Amino acid sequence: MTSRHAHDDTRWELGPVIGRAEPHDHAAPSAPVPESSDLPPGLDTAVTALTQLKDSTVSFTVEPDPESVTAARHFAVSRLVEWDVPELADDVGLVVSELVTNALRHSGGTSCGRPGDDVHREGVYDDPADPLGSAPPAIRLRLSHEPPWLLCGIMDASDAAPRRREPDYIAETGRGLHLVESFSARWGWRTLPQGKVVWALFRAS
C-alpha cells in the first residue's frame, strides 16, 4: 500500500500539522490522535465551511444501522460522479466507509428523518430537538468540492479523540485510521460545540 501524502499544492500550502502523530510514531496501542492545529488558512477555512454547511457543501444523515455505511459510501460516490471526479471514488469510498463505521461504533449517535433528507440544510447538528432532550445529534457525512480538491468530513456527537491502534494486518478491525491516512492527501479532526468532525482531503488527478 502506498501513501498518498506526497501531494502538495501552494493553494492549500500543505505541510505537517503541528502536534499531529506521524505514521512512524508507534505510540502505545489505542493512543489518541492529537487534534489538528495550525492548519494553513485555506484548509482551515474549508474545514470550517464543511462543518457549517457553507458554499458547495452537501450533507447526508447517517442512520444508526450497519447498512448506513453502504448508503453513505453510495451517496459519496454519486456526488463524485456529479462533480466529474470519478477517479476519486475508490479512495473516498474507502475512507468514508472507515470513518462512518468508526462514528457508528463510538459516538452512540442517532439520527432523525430519512438518510440524506438534510441535503443543503443550513447549520451544524440541526436535527429537530427531541422533546425530552434525550436524542443525541445525528451523524453527518459532509462533502465539499473545490477543484482539484475534495474535502469530506464525518461529524458525530462524541468529543472523544480518534484513537490510532498499532496495525494488525491479520485482525479484521483496528486499521481504520491507518487506511484514512494512506488514502487521503491529509486528514485530521476538530472539536465542535456538539462533538467533533473527522475530515480527510483528497486531490483529483
- Residue 49 is predicted with a pLDDT of 92
Which CATH number covers residue 41? Answer: 3.30.565.10
Q: Identity (one letter) of the amino acid at 152?
A: C
- The answer to whether position 8 is within a domain reads no
| CB-CB contact of 190 with 35 (8 Å) | yes
- The answer to whether position 48 is within a domain reads yes
User: What does 123-185 look like in DSSP terms, one character per residue?
Assistant: SSS-PPPPTTS-PPPPEEEEEEEETTEEEEEEEES--PPPEE----SSSSSS-HHHHHHHHSS
Q: Identity (one letter) of the amino acid at 26?
A: H
> For every one of its 205 residues, what pLDDT tens digit does the chain have, with 9 covering 90 and above?
333 433 333 333 444 433 333 444 443 456 788 888 788 999 999 999 999 988 789 999 998 888 899 999 999 999 999 999 999 999 999 999 999 998 988 765 443 333 343 333 333 333 433 444 444 568 999 999 999 999 999 999 988 888 776 655 443 344 578 889 999 999 999 999 989 999 999 999 8
Note down the domain range covering 145: 34-121+134-203
- The answer to whether position 22 is within a domain reads no
- The answer to whether position 172 is within a domain reads yes
- The answer to whether position 107 is within a domain reads yes
